[in-house]
Amino acid sequence: MALSGKTGEVAAVFRRSFYVRIDGLWACCGGADLGCGPLNVLMDVPPNIDWRAAVGAGGDVEVCGGCLHLPHGQQIRIDTAQLWVPPQPSAWSPESARAGLRMLERLLGHTEIPVGGLGCFARKTARPETDVARFAQAPIEEFSSWLKNRPAEQPDVAHLLGLGPGLTPAGDDFIAAALVTLHAIGRNNERAALFRSVAPALDIATTAISAAHLRGAADGEMSATQHEILSALLSAEDAPLAMALRDLPLDHTSNWDGLAGIARTLRALFD
């Protein structure tokens, strides 16, 4: 095991999960309800566990004997963990992507979108209602224009990085989903240019955890929920798309921000 003998710390603790940082690498630990994702380590634990009481932030951790050793004697077996690999999108074409975008627009007409965050930009015509969304409108439109016109230079999305509150700010979630979408449809030149435009500021303009998620997105990795939405959109699968939208929580906007990034990227290229 490459990390055997390495030590680190509990970097952040929340009710449903906690983050550990070891040798510059990040992992988000929690129960199965976290869902699969590039940083997630899923454990067999009671669904109502509150990690704020069980694990203290700042405590030392160590990888030893196939386990992640936590403060207060807890251990997580990691040598038998199954590696999650993001699924490949279903068969798709530009025509099916356009059909998927029409489905999305129809479904969003009957779906409540959180006022906070950037979810309003999942619609073809956005109606920003908050200062964060209004501030994001110009850089999002500039990003869409950059994709449509396909210039050689990098897009100017610096104003989105770190935009909004939370562990992974809304602007970061938008950029991450755009990166994964470009990766999934084989637009690697645009994906590389987009990541180059934010990479120099990752360690100063946003949270360390969000920066780790953005680096994963550059390699085509985001939450399983967002991969499901992307696949359903690309292949115009009505029922899976409707189910995924119905299951998105209104009190956590990250997946909505990601949906906006997916939709804006596909619309710029195919709509």
Residue-wise pLDDT tens digits, 213-270 = 999 999 999 999 999 999 999 999 999 999 999 989 888 899 999 999 999 999 999 9
Q: Where are the alpha helices (DSSP H) in 129-207?
A: 131-149, 170-184, 188-198, 202-205
The rounded percent of the chain whose pLDDT value lies above 70 is: 99
pLDDT at 1 over 70: no
31 φ, ψ (degrees, to nearest 5): -80, 180
CA dihedral (259, 260, 263, 265) positive or negative: negative
pTM of the model: 0.92
Half-sphere exposure of 49 (CA within 13 A, CB side): 18
Token digits for 164?
């909004």
125 burial class (0-12, 13-18, 19+ CB within 10 angstroms)? exposed
The rounded percent of the chain whose pLDDT value lies above 90 is: 63
Q: Work out the pLDDT band at 152, boundaries 50, 70, 90.
A: low
Q: Where are the alpha helices (DSSP H) in 26-165?
A: 51-54, 94-108, 131-149
* Interatomic CA distance for residues 268 and 6, integer angstroms: 45
CA–centroid distance for 264 within its chain:
15
Q: What is the pLDDT of residue 149?
A: 87
* ∠ Cα 95 96 102 (to 5°): 95
* Interatomic CA distance for residues 116 and 120, integer angstroms: 9
